[in-house]
């Protein structure tokens, strides 16, 4: 069996493992193994093949890590309108309790409302920012 075939089998194994685990970084390692196979086709020695596979695979992993780190993080599901349709709706708070909560009628039921930290409690219209457990976290309009 040629060295290039071994590299391709290793790359295929890494892709199969990625499909089972869902780790994107295994695809980058597989690309390094594919680069090692191409180096074997070019007639490079074993050491050069290993170095090419390590540089390409490792470089791809490092590049993906920094790209993912620079990308702004997604909102949590409890604050994402496409996941939770209550986010962005308005509720009317008549009065706040001493513990910082209020009870409002929303969608035909009584809900406990909490105010986002740093905002003074005041009566009036509030917008639902996210759901925290079974409570509505709101901002004053």
- Distance from C-alpha of 10 to C-alpha of 20, rounded to nearest angstrom: 15
**Residue-level pLDDT at 77:** 66
Sketch the domain layout of the chain as residue ranges: 3-70, 77-140
pTM of the model: 0.54
Structural fold of domain 77-140: OB fold (Dihydrolipoamide Acetyltransferase, E2P) (2.40.50)
SS3 for the chain is CCHHHHHHHHHHHHHHHHHHHCCCHHHHHHHHHHHHHHHHHCCCCHHHHHHHHHHHHHHHHHHHHHHHHHCCCCCCHHHCCCCCCCCCCEEEECCCCCCCEEEEEECCEEEEEEECCCCCCCCEEEEEEEEECCEEEEEEC
Residue 80 has pLDDT above 80, yes or no: no
36-75 tens-digit pLDDT: 999 999 999 999 999 999 999 999 999 988 888 887 776 7
Model pLDDT, residue 88 = 83
Count of Cβ atoms closer than 10 Å to residue 31 Cβ: 19
Cα–Cα distance between 49 and 7 in angstroms, integer? 9
Q: How confident is the model over 103-123, as a mean pLDDT?
A: 86
Question: What pLDDT sits at residue 27?
Answer: 92
Share above pLDDT 70 across residues of the chain, in percent, rounded to a whole number: 94
Residue range 86-110: average pLDDT? 86
């Amino acid at each position: 069996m040629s060295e290039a075939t071994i590299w391709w089998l290793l790359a295929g194994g890494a892709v199969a493992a990625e499909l089972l685990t869902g780790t994107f970084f295994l695809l980058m390692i597989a690309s390094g193994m594919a680069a090692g196979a191409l180096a074997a086709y070019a007639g490079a020695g074993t050491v050069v093949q290993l170095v090419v596979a390590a540089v390409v695979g490792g470089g791809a992993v490092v590049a993906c890590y920094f790209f993912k780190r620079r990308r702004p993080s997604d909102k949590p599901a409890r604050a994402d309108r496409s996941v939770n349709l209550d986010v962005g709706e308005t509720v009317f708070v008549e009065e706040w309790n001493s513990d910082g909560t209020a009870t409002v009628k929303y969608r035909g039921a009584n809900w406990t409302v909490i105010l986002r930290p740093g905002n003074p409690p005041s009566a009036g219209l509030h917008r639902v920012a996210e759901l925290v457990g079974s409570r509505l976290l709101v901002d004053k309009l």
